Amino acid sequence: MNKYLVKLICTIFPNQIVSFAYNQLTNPQVQKLRQHELDILDKSQKETLKFEHFDIQLYTWQGGQEKVLLIHGWEGQAGNFADLIAKLQEKNYTIYAFDAPSHGFSSKGKTSLFEFTSLVSILIKKFQVKKLISHSFGGVATTYALYNNQDLHIDKYVLLTTPDKFAERINDVATQIGITENVKNKLITKLEKETKLDIHKLNVSDFVKSINVAKSLIIHDTNDKIIPIERARNVQKNWKNCTFLEIQETGHFRILRTQSVIDKTIEFLND
């Protein structure tokens, strides 16, 4: 929709635009997988987990005693980790992954960060993992899950890009759609009313100050067009025992398929 037209509609029909923006935040649009990503999923052991009003698709690749859970990003899915899964299999890891609510091969419906977060907590406990790898928004869901569950202790955690403030995500959507400041504030009010949370307190850079992670590594591209690297730098600055690795020429998505990144990730997990 033309942004000038959106601004005009914001003035005339602000509540309708709030509903449209809210739907953008709660109804993920998931891309089709490549054939080799589908092939990797076909080699897994699959099971379905009942969670809230969703049927969650779980995947397991059996290996040795070393276990790792993969947490994809918003509008992502387990198959996005295909190249990393193949390499982890070579290292004899037992690998767990899932499609979040309304993502991938899980059932569809309106969802949110908070359902995603609750599911991550459940799966860390279910699989009894001490090593985690997340991509993008998966870092928000995971750090928030660990923040809300102080009994969870993680040995190693790799974040392949990470956002910081949830308010920044709302600003990104507002800019993308072209909504006015007044409508954006109405959207925040709607979100806070439904979640009973202060949006401005949902910050990864705050969560990481108190979560129980022995060692973490953030890998982020300097030219990431989806999540500016400054957001990841702020997370690392506030996180004790966190290493930061800046890379180039992978962007936001190709980072998952870049061999040097995969090698660094596994080297960190094994160190």
One-character DSSP codes across 32-44? PPPHHHHHHHHTS
What are the residue ranges spanned by the domains of the chain? 1-29+166-202, 44-164+203-270
Residues whose CB is less than 8 angstroms from the CB of residue 184 and which lie 6 or more positions away in sequence, other chains included: 21, 170, 171, 174
Q: What is the mean pLDDT of each run of 10 residues along the chain (271 residues)?
A: 67 78 81 95 98 97 98 96 98 98 95 90 98 97 96 98 92 80 87 84 96 98 96 98 96 96 98 88
pLDDT of res. 113: 81
pLDDT of res. 180: 84
pLDDT of res. 147: 97
Q: Which CATH number fits domain 44-164+203-270: 1.10.10.10, 3.40.50.460, 1.20.810.10, 3.40.50.1820?
A: 3.40.50.1820
Using a 10 angstrom Cβ sphere, with 0-12 exposed, 13-18 middle and 19 or more buried, the burial of residue 228 is: middle
**What does each C-alpha distance from 38 to 42, 44, 79, 80, 92 come to in angstroms?**
6, 10, 7, 9, 21
Task: Work out the end-to-end distance of the chain between its first and last CA atoms, rounded to an integer number of angstroms.
Answer: 49
